[in-house]
Chain A
């Protein structure tokens, strides 16, 4: 989109009003917001707004408001942003409020994914907060006529000798619209008192008391509950529709636009009843099933593989992963309000600035007439990049002129969201008798290139990601395709180790470059586990694996046992070592690492979407198993702090090593190599 000054002015006017409402007349507000909008509308993600006030406001009541386009989906971004401000602005924890993902208020942001909050947003917020601190220092120095080196900021107070004032008193009437200096001094790691220390999740009390309002908890006067009529299968088109019976129910309204049919009613039960009263017929088309999916995705292209060098052992193997669902515990939900000009939509999404144009396009209105807000959400895991529920609710709200709440059912979430892509990985390799890998050819089909490059030192490796037509809607996932590509690679490395009769850990060390971070995490996890010890009993297996993505390095060691009769796999112990540079909050980091590992257990052992002819056959938690308490063994996690490095995000990479570690342990226990996810007998 090109820069449009008119659009910008309109946006500024609108956002001024809303910002004033939200911030209660904070004085720094007006000068700052145009900046963010000019940038958002004209640049679309090229650079970040440079004025302090686009990011940080200090109200006369000493309330510090921080604005970010990132959202909170359980990764505790709200907490780490708060820590960053507390640190740089020397502010008390309780004085900081973070406004997240409100497209009318916050600077444009592409979205909360790819573990970008920690490496990009946190430094940006720190710089803005530090610049605000310097500005306060200047203002106080001027006011009191003292040298700025004599000014002291601490716990929300500015002091110098006999002088003392609150931030609000000093900031009063002063617009912070100067740019953030490139050289703004950041607090060195060694002086951190907030960052780098365990800090409770912000607002945790509201979560244990049930007070926190997710999108699905919001209510408005006059609000109607909506239900959408779903096609019986993907790609089906409406043949005939009879809503007459539904319309006879008092209070029920029907919205019909092409293949989109929805009902709305003052209560959920009435909306459900109305939906059930609709008669519809659909044109359906046949489609492939999960049984034949890998053949379909692989196609029959011939891949020429290179010659095996003399003396080396060649190995080829094929690995597969099914479509899996994200299963966020809060299904997609939206609350939409139309005031005749503007559409305001609350929804749980990881990309509020992506949902805004989606809604605008669906309604045929300019983007500036859409505001998207994201209440802290019941998780996403890469599964909430789109605005499906937001678009549906907005369409109904505009058609009826009433606030509309739409909460997807679990079945809808399983069926109409998008999936982590299914994939096929083929690896052709060769290894010298001394354990050096000398040929590495890796072909991925459908699930994509993330994590496809090998971290091992192999002479001229070849990797290709082949695009194919996916029969199911597919999209992002925690760590994207890397989880599967890493499963294939780390399983294959284990196979090669056994080919040459080497210990899997030694084999990895032999092939990793000297400076690889994986060496450190592998060693740390192996040491804690006691790698190399005797197996305690027959049917027990040990497996090790590692992975690297987005600046995070993980190694996981697994101990499991397999029942000789039932062949049931029982995880007994998991040891992780993780490194992602300088640690910002060890407590929340550990929780996130272990959460990712636990999610990975599902993909490794249980999860697979079954489908046929455009229908999902197991859209229920009773038929799609996710990890539960009883599936979780003892987990130990070592966090390796690297204060000399920048901080990388950690929401994704820790998921990488668990599935191959389990597969390798299964081989160690049984001598059987399982190359298809989910693994089981």
Chain B
């Protein structure tokens, strides 16, 4: 069976069972390996991508659910060689150690800031707590998210 999905602005026809996970399609079929597997059970956030602007866990999203929607992965937020504000903020704050959680973290943060460019601490904690950083870079990531929020809002 073939399903059409749009990823990072490009339409793809995918030949796979409709219940195949979006994560597998992205990584194996489309070669977009920036999105990571961490648990496959919607518990770690490593596989976070945007679906119609909202952060979702692609490991538990079936291909059929992604049909006809717009998917954006970590590979799709850089525009004309310019990093997204959240990506740049992660660099500026040195917000990582091994980096494995970073794609998911950035996508969750982008999704949050899309909805509310100025979240307070409580909202950040709530919206980001589905994403695990086992290396414990949370304080830096918190700082990075706030920095990105300032950049997006154009305040110093």
Contact = CB atoms under 8 A, between A and B. Distances in A.
Interface of A: 72-76, 198, 200-201, 204-205, 207-214, 216-217, 219, 225, 267-269, 327-331, 376-379, 381, 407, 409-410, 587-588, 591-592, 594-599, 620-622, 626-630, 632, 635
Given A208-B106, A620-B43, A74 B135 contact: yes
A210 B78 CA distance: 11
26 contacts: A201-B99, A205-B91, A210-B34, A210-B75, A217-B33, A267-B28, A329-B100, A331-B37, A331-B38, A376-B98, A377-B98, A378-B36, A407-B37, A410-B38, A588-B94, A591-B94, A591-B137, A594-B139, A599-B135, A621-B38, A621-B39, A621-B44, A621-B132, A622-B41, A628-B138, A629-B128
Given A329-B38, A629-B131, A598 B136 contact: yes
A410 B16 CA distance: 24
B136 A596 contact: yes
A224 to B, nearest CB: 12
Contact of A629 (B34, B88, B125): B125
Contacts of B96: 74, 201, 204, 207
Contact of A74 (B20, B87, B97): B97
Interface string B107-126: 00000000000000000111
Nearest to A200: B94
B98 A329 contact: yes
A410 B36 contact: no
Contacts of B40: 409-410
A208 B41 contact: no
Given A207-B96, A269-B16, A591-B140, 7 more contacts: A72-B98, A74-B100, A204-B91, A212-B99, A620-B43, A626-B132, A630-B126
Q: Is the interface of B mostly helix, strand, loop or mixed?
A: loop
Contacts, number: 162
Contact of B124 (A209, A212, A597, A629): A629
B133 interface: yes
Contacts of A200: 91, 94
B94 A201 contact: yes
Contacts of B27: 217
A237 to B, nearest CB: 28
4 smallest CB-CB distances across A and B, nearest first, come from A210-B34, A74-B98, A598-B136, A378-B100
Contacts of A621: 38-39, 41, 43-44, 132
B41 A595 contact: no
B35 A210 contact: yes
Given A75-B97, A209-B74, A635 B38 contact: no
A75 B98 CA distance: 7
Contacts of A219: 31
A268 B24 contact: yes
Contacts of A72: 98
B10 to A, nearest CB: 16
Contacts of B133: 329
A457 B85 CA distance: 53
A407 B37 CA distance: 9
Which interface residue of A208, A209, A629 has the most chain B CB atoms within 10 A?
A: A208
Contacts of A217: 27, 33
A587 B131 contact: no
B100 A598 contact: no
B58 interface: no
B50 interface: no
B130 to A, nearest CB: 8
Given A200-B94, A588-B94, A597-B136, A210 B39 contact: no
A410 B102 CA distance: 18
Contact of B97 (A198, A269, A409, A595): A595
B13 interface: no
A76 B133 CA distance: 16
B126 to A, nearest CB: 7
B46 interface: yes
B63 to A, nearest CB: 10
Nearest to B35: A210
B65 interface: no
A635 B98 contact: no
B21 to A, nearest CB: 9
Most buried by B among A72, A198, A209: A209
A598 B138 contact: yes
B17 interface: yes
B43 to A, nearest CB: 4
A587 B126 CA distance: 27
A595 B36 CA distance: 21
A629 B138 contact: yes
A630 B102 contact: no
Contact of B94 (A377, A379, A587, A626): A587
B103 interface: yes
B129 interface: yes
Contacts of A596: 136
A49 to B, nearest CB: 29
Contacts of A330: 36, 38, 98, 100
Interface in B45-90: 46, 73-75, 78, 83, 87-88, 90
A409 B43 CA distance: 13
Given A329-B38, A595-B97, A210 B128 contact: no
Contact of B103 (A210, A213, A331): A210
B101 interface: yes
B137 to A, nearest CB: 6
B142 interface: yes
Given A621-B41, A630-B126, A207 B99 contact: yes
Contacts of B132: 329, 621, 626, 628
B134 A599 contact: yes
A622 B91 CA distance: 30
A406 B75 CA distance: 24
A473 B98 CA distance: 25
Contacts of A74: 96-100, 135
B134 A328 contact: yes
Contacts of B73: 210
A676 B122 CA distance: 31
B34 A211 contact: yes
B136 A622 contact: no
Contact of B33 (A73, A198, A205, A210): A210
Contacts of B37: 216, 331, 407
Given A200-B91, A630-B125, A410 B99 contact: no
A597 B136 CA distance: 8
Contacts of A214: 36, 100
A74 B140 CA distance: 15
B77 to A, nearest CB: 9
A328 B87 CA distance: 23
Nearest to A76: B97
Q: Which residue, A73, A75, A269, has most C-beta atoms of chain B within 10 A? A: A269
Given A204-B91, A208-B83, A409-B40, A213 B102 contact: no
Contact of B46 (A73, A329, A377, A599): A329
